[in-house]
Amino acid sequence: MSSFSLPPLPHLPPLHAWLPSHTLHPRDSSFLQPPLPPIPQSLFLRPSPVSLSSSSAPNPATTTTTTSAASEIPGQCLDPACTTAVRYRGFCKAHGGSRKCKVIGCTKGGQGNNLCIGHGGGKRCEVDGCFKASQSRGLCKAHGGGARCIEPGCNKSSQGSDGRCRKHGGGKRCTVDGCLVGAQRGNKCAIHGGTRYCTEPTCNRTDRGGGFCEMHRKNKVCKQPACSRLRKEQCGGFCMTHHRANLILSGKQPSDGDNDGDSVATDEQRSSHDGGD
């Protein structure tokens, strides 16, 4: 039997010729999102900070400076550096626009007739002969106005936020542990040191109002009949309450010295008598 031989194989290309080319072809996303040019570095520079002291309109909420009574100019804004004319006593619109009591030197807000409550502004009690400020229902606290005690059958004025009078637990209590008595002065009751004494030398009686005991205040009371409040020298011998009443009845404007308080004794007198507490 004759031998059979295979024909010679054709020349084949090398193996690397069959592998894919190393040339990278772009993806589909590169056509949809072409590369952007570089961003200039100047855009990354931050602007210089602006000084807060630069000129700007004043903030009404922070404007609290007022002129003194001596330097106050009627018809002009109460801000010392402002010369804007106003028709009322107070601040111009640029400085808050708040109206003040028209009494020179008074810092309280006007309630009625451009006067604060202390100088006769606002509504008065409807009871004949009473010139106290009205709280509610046209009455002052003494005549039933304002919030009442929530205890059944009690018609006294409410003192604290819990809606009760002092007798039923309203108002401030003594800060001494275990004491439930109402505080008088210094957050303590009369028993635990909340008592003031008469400012007259060598007198150890309790202060009954204005820095004097019941005996030493007899010749210092208001000349209005049946009134036990202390008089004020600048009120013509009347207490502040009856002095305001006389001003309201006469239609006169209160003067600069008509400030609050009926006390005749000064703080220095009380301080020296109480030992500087």
- 109 domain-assigned: no
179-219 confidence digits (pLDDT tens): 888 887 778 887 887 678 888 888 888 887 778 888 888 88
Q: Compute the mean pLDDT over every residue in the chain, rounded to the nearest whole number.
A: 72
Q: Per the structure, how many domains does the chain have?
A: 1
CB neighbours of residue 163 within 10 Å: 14
pTM metric for this prediction: 0.38
Residue 85 lies in a domain: no
Would you say residue 260 lies in a domain?
yes
Flag whether 165 is in a domain: no
Mean pLDDT of 53-75: 57
Structural domain span for residue 233: 196-277
- Please check whether residue 103 lies inside any domain of the structure: no
Instruction: Give pLDDT, residue 48.
Output: 52
In a domain, 164, yes or no: no
- What confidence tier does 44 reach under pLDDT thresholds 50, 70, 90? low
Is residue 246 situated within a structural domain? yes
Asked if residue 245 belongs to a domain, the reply is yes
